[in-house]
Structure 1
Amino acid sequence: MILINIYSHKLCYLSLALIIGAIGTLSFSPYNFWPAALLSFSGFQFLMLQRTTRNVSVIGFMWGLGFFGTGMHWLYFSLKMFSGLSSIVNILIIFVLTAYLALYPLLFSTLLNILSTQNLFLRLIILSPVLWQITEFLRSIVMTGLPWLQFGYTQINGPLKGIAPLMGEEAITFFLVILSGLLVYAVRYRQILSIVSVIIIIVLCWSLSFITWFVAVPERTVDVTLVQGNMPPLLKWDLNDLTNTLNTYIRLSAPYVGKTSIIIWPESAIPDLEANQQLFLKYQDKQFRNSGTALITGIIDSRIKNNFYHTYNAIIVIGNVKPYHYLSKNRYQKSHLVPFGEYIPCISCLRYLISFFHFPESTFSCGKYLQPQLDVLGYYLTPALCYEVAFKQRMRDNFRQETDFLLTMSNDAWFGDSIGPWQHLQMAQMRALELGRPLLNSTNNGITTIINANGEITNIIPQFQSNALRAKVTPTTGLTPYARFGNCSIWAVTLLFSMIWLICVLRLFYKAYLKKEVFHNRIE
């Protein structure tokens, strides 16, 4: 009976950890209930109190399963579409990925329990944000990184959004962990002061959102049209599909040629090699340039370098001031590729796995980490393709003071009617807010948007529509503190908190040592 009660108790708090983790997904788009982030992480912290390290590790893993399992289940739609495997196998693959991501909350909870002292304030408010910052950083770089579902993004419409242009999204996550710790501390000790501290921090951070870090340049306002073709994802290139795709984008663009300055097509809008489409590109280049309109489009580029073919997911510009030519350097080549989507990591080791799961052996090459701005009719754009927008440091490093707009292009048709594209859009909003520039977000099937320098959506085309979005967009100038210093600020704060924790721990050990000495002296 005792064993049954013990196992029932364990099953209860592990199930609770799973549910609390799942609640965290509600804080992200399209749900946008930002308090769920505080509720989820506070519950996670509370569940770990006064437990053994082994139990805490399991709680961390279960919380991660609930959080990432609900937050990234949309990847199932992509697997279902191109893997050719049964639903059970696809679910198994998603579970393996979720289990991998859950290792980071497990690492966080384990280290937290090992390094914690009896002092709950040190554990919840000082040490927790430090360890979460470190484990989230590891998640963003290990095996090329997957920095999806970081809690800072939930504040794009929340009271902490003012931190973003000051210190970046990671700093918002840092403060959310502090607030969660204060809430747990308040519940644990029924302390009003902690609740007051939470309110003060939220109000101070909210007040930051009234600071404008950029300056609009209305005299350089430009007429822009984003075209959403709503084309089905292509499992293989076919001449009929290519013709249909090109005709669709040309038809949707035609009413705006000569009437708008810049037209933007999404990622891989031309589903063919650039070298194969030279006649089409040069003809369109002449037509667009004569009309005074420039076209930015995604395309696949394969060219010989060092006696090998290198294939790039690329962005090119036609109809610009200078005529288009194949060797033009006014282009962007994607630098952060999607594992198993655009390249196969350790392909020689995984070849059997690839053939078993029917993954296409993508052989895209990485573009350079740092690349010049796209120059379009004298406007400078910092581009990102697909999920590159999730890598804040990469986008910030490519950002320049002369940048007029940010540009993101993607094709989320692989993810169906899921929450994935909405989370993708939320990250694009955060990049605009961090860097203080309007962002042009062009997608194949939605959500195509124009985002202002405050991270707010000003124009949108709903998903699954073939349509064009025309708007006048005003560039901005000036550098936000985040644009100047990147993540240095949050790492400085992390180091400061680490030093505070270390000093406090050493002081506690010293006090314990003195007590021990006094005790021995009394005995003697």
Structure 2
Amino acid sequence: MRTSKGFNLQINNSGYSYLVSFFAGLSLVFAYAPFSLWPIALLALLVWFTQLDQRSPKQAFYQGLAFGFGWFGAGISWVHVSIEQFGGMPLFVSVLLMILLCGYLALYPALAAWLSAKLSINKTVNLYFLPFVWLLSEYLRAHMLTGFPWLALGYSQIDGPFAALAPFIGEVGIGFVLLYFAVAAFKRIKRKQIRLTRIILLSSIVAITLTHNVSNIEETGENINVALVQGNIKQELRWDEAQEQNIINSYIDDSKGLYQSHDLVIWPEAAIPRIEPLAQEYLQQLDEQAFEQNSALITGIINYDPDSRSFFNRLVMLGKKQDGDKLGDYYYRNSNHYDKHHLLPIGEFVPFASLLRPLAPFFNLPMSSFSRGDYVQKNLLANNLNIAPLICFEIVFPKQLAANMNQQTDLLLTVSNDAWFGDSHGPHQHLEIARMRALEFGRPMLRSTNNGITAVINHNGEIIADIPQFTKTTLSTQVPLVSGATFYSQYALHLDKLLFLIFLISLIWHKFSFKKSNKYS
């Protein structure tokens, strides 16, 4: 209904109110890939605010929980595919595990909503606090239990006007600005604090307009030819010993004609289904073959280190390393490799393994006992190119990329196997995240996957070439190289600290202003 103060759509019945928050969160799925309807994120927040505004801390917590449960229930429903189809779980158990996972993730927006009320002087939700405490809750979500920062708000804006902010403040900053913009729009609709909301809305529009036309990244005029091989190996066959030789031969055959016309050939995560010490014959042959044709090959493989008795999810470089080499540079335990650091819980390591592994096949998946590589590793050097790699899930951690990128980095690379998630929206969201990393760090991104979506992304976060999912084929394209550094790539590690400092200052000012107003009232 409409009153003299503007619109008031808050529902007093708690059950219906929570249902509105739940569906607001549920609708967020359409803001992300493959739907990519970015305005829905803003609309969903506005609807949620109608039920959240001025609630008590307890009520705010449950409003955040309802919103978060809808958000993640729809957004990461693709996890169910891997649990039910490949985890050996009955349907009832897989659904129960999904409910528990979504309930856990919903605790973070619930925490943000609770804090926005708890820190307020009058102990009701202060929406102006929400973007700041949201940062805290998202920071915790990205680090607790190794972290799961999937579906952060900023990713929903990769195709919208807010994306212009990415090279300056990254996805985290976009989420912050989006929330503040939504708060100001909500207050404006309610006709409250008109002057402040006008300042926030106008400053956001000005910032987006200015950053859209400002860039420190320039094309060098040099292009490289790259080929990405999509093997489309079914998940149930990837670690089948009877299929091992067929898989290796398939990738070798698909790549024979590529080296002569391409500077760089990329195979996906764990493309070679044989541990590195036992694959030396093939690796040496591939090394010589690529080198003789003035090309380089990067492939995923599993390494076993007999000294530490540890497995590593690895990328190795074969073929030409740099001008002046007389032979291929590959040999076992050479330094030109990358070991995955940020492992996926259950999929690559099992917490409390002695307790969980006996319970169900889901906790005993193939290759679920990896060790971590170092957090900071050297770029791969391939055919005179410096390449900063990330493997699969690591693409959602921008700080790790920031720690490993340097002034010499020419390309970003991510390899993956999304066959776990079938024909769901998970692989599309994964590609969306890779696009954001390319835009944030101002470098082309190569994304090679087992069954899609294999793609090449330019430094503006735009897909310049891709190939369909579930096809056995090769993506061949030219990639323009660039120079320069984005603001975000240089200061990404410090952005959240700055925003938290601003929040502390605003909180102190808020309490001081309240005391001062009481003193003179």
Partner of 1:518: none
Once the two structures are overlaid, the 10-residue window that deviates more, 444-453 or 208-217, is 208-217
Structure 1 residues 160-212: Cα deviation after superposition (integer angstroms, max 9, x where no partner): 11211112110101101101111221122267653685255234314312212
Task: Write the mapping of 1:196-215 to structure 2, written as runs, cut at 5 A.
Answer: 197-198=200-201, 200-215=203-218
Partner of 2:8: none
Once the two structures are overlaid, the 10-residue window that deviates more, 196-205 or 289-298, is 196-205
434, 439, 453: which one aligns with 2:440: 434
Contact 1:167 1:490 in 2 (8 A): no
Partner secondary structure for residue 81 of structure 1: helix
Partner of 1:136: 138
505, 508, 519: which one aligns with 2:511: 505
Contact 1:84 1:358 in 2 (8 A): no
Task: Write the mapping of 1:218-257 to structure 2, written as runs, cut at 5 A.
Answer: 218-219=221-222, 221-234=223-236, 237-257=239-259
Once the two structures are overlaid, the 10-residue window that deviates more, 441-450 or 155-164, is 155-164
216, 227, 230: which one aligns with 2:219: 216
Partner of 1:520: none
Contact 1:64 1:106 in 2 (8 A): yes
Q: Give % identity.
A: 36
Once the two structures are overlaid, the 10-residue window that deviates more, 479-488 or 185-194, is 185-194
Structure 1 residue 505, shift from structure 2 partner: 1.7
Partner secondary structure for residue 298 of structure 1: strand
TM-score (norm 2): 0.92
User: Is 2:189 the partner of 1:180?
Assistant: no
Contact 1:300 1:314 in 2 (8 A): yes
Partner secondary structure for residue 470 of structure 1: strand
Task: Write the mapping of 1:285-296 to structure 2, written as runs, cut at 5 A.
Answer: 285-296=287-298
Change (3 A) 1:354 1:370: farther
Structure 2: how far apart are the matches of 1:453 and 1:376? 20
User: Is 2:127 the partner of 1:124?
Assistant: yes
Task: Write the mapping of 1:17-28 to structure 2, written as runs, cut at 5 A.
Answer: 17-28=21-32
451, 461, 472: which one aligns with 2:457: 451
Contact 2:346 2:363 in 1 (8 A): no
Partner of 1:59: 63
Partner secondary structure for residue 468 of structure 1: strand
Partner of 2:494: 488
Structure 1 residue 403, shift from structure 2 partner: 0.2
User: Is 2:170 the partner of 1:164?
Assistant: no
AA partner of residue 427 (structure 2):
P
Structure 1: how far apart are the matches of 2:315 and 2:235? 18
Structure 1: how far apart are the matches of 2:363 and 2:482? 47
User: What RMSD, in angstroms, separates the aligned Cα atoms of the two structures?
Assistant: 2.1
Task: Write the mapping of 1:61-460 to structure 2, written as runs, cut at 5 A.
Answer: 61-117=65-121, 123-125=126-128, 127-189=129-191, 194=197, 197-198=200-201, 200-219=203-222, 221-234=223-236, 237-305=239-307, 308-321=308-321, 322-353=328-359, 359=365, 362-460=368-466
Once the two structures are overlaid, the 10-residue window that deviates more, 375-384 or 320-329, is 320-329
Structure 1 residues 320-370: Cα deviation after superposition (integer angstroms, max 9, x where no partner): 243311021100000000000100113234344456865557210000000
Structure 1 residues 34-93: Cα deviation after superposition (integer angstroms, max 9, x where no partner): 111111222222211233322221111111110000000000111122221211111111
User: Is 2:22 the partner of 1:33?
Assistant: no
AA partner of residue 42 (structure 1):
L
Change (3 A) 1:358 1:348: closer
AA partner of residue 32 (structure 2):
F
Please identify runs of 4+ aligned residues in structure 1 that moved more than 3 A: 117-120, 190-197, 348-361
Partner of 1:522: none
Partner of 1:3: none
Change (3 A) 1:388 1:358: closer
Change (3 A) 1:501 1:190: closer
AA partner of residue 34 (structure 2):
P
Once the two structures are overlaid, the 10-residue window that deviates more, 410-419 or 503-512, is 503-512
AA partner of residue 16 (structure 1):
V
Change (3 A) 1:358 1:274: closer
AA partner of residue 211 (structure 1):
V
Structure 1: how far apart are the matches of 2:347 and 2:101? 14
AA partner of residue 108 (structure 2):
Y
Contact 2:41 2:156 in 1 (8 A): yes
Structure 1 residue 372, shift from structure 2 partner: 0.3
Structure 2: how far apart are the matches of 1:124 and 1:498? 15
Contact 2:164 2:212 in 1 (8 A): yes
Structure 1 residue 408, shift from structure 2 partner: 0.4
Partner secondary structure for residue 255 of structure 1: coil
Task: Write the mapping of 1:460-471 to structure 2, written as runs, cut at 5 A.
Answer: 460-471=466-477
Structure 1 residue 239, shift from structure 2 partner: 3.2
Structure 2: how far apart are the matches of 1:89 and 1:176? 37
Structure 1 residue 145, shift from structure 2 partner: 0.4
Structure 1: how far apart are the matches of 2:12 and 2:89? 37
Partner of 1:521: none
Once the two structures are overlaid, the 10-residue window that deviates more, 371-380 or 54-63, is 54-63
AA partner of residue 110 (structure 1):
W
Contact 1:85 1:357 in 2 (8 A): no
Structure 2: how far apart are the matches of 1:483 and 1:77? 35
AA partner of residue 50 (structure 1):
Q
Partner secondary structure for residue 471 of structure 1: strand
Contact 1:231 1:245 in 2 (8 A): yes
Task: Write the mapping of 1:9-20 to structure 2, written as runs, cut at 5 A.
Answer: 9-20=13-24
Structure 2: how far apart are the matches of 1:401 and 1:153? 26
Structure 2: how far apart are the matches of 1:360 and 1:244? 19
Structure 2: how far apart are the matches of 1:204 and 1:499? 22
Structure 1: how far apart are the matches of 2:22 and 2:349? 33
Structure 2: how far apart are the matches of 1:118 and 1:100? 29
Once the two structures are overlaid, the 10-residue window that deviates more, 496-505 or 464-473, is 496-505
Structure 1 residue 236, shift from structure 2 partner: 6.6
Structure 2: how far apart are the matches of 1:365 and 1:156? 33
Structure 2: how far apart are the matches of 1:447 and 1:236? 18
AA partner of residue 484 (structure 1):
Q
Partner secondary structure for residue 36 of structure 2: coil
Structure 1 residue 495, shift from structure 2 partner: 1.3
Contact 1:354 1:360 in 2 (8 A): no
Structure 1 residues 347-401: Cα deviation after superposition (integer angstroms, max 9, x where no partner): 2343444568655572100000000000001100000000100001001110011
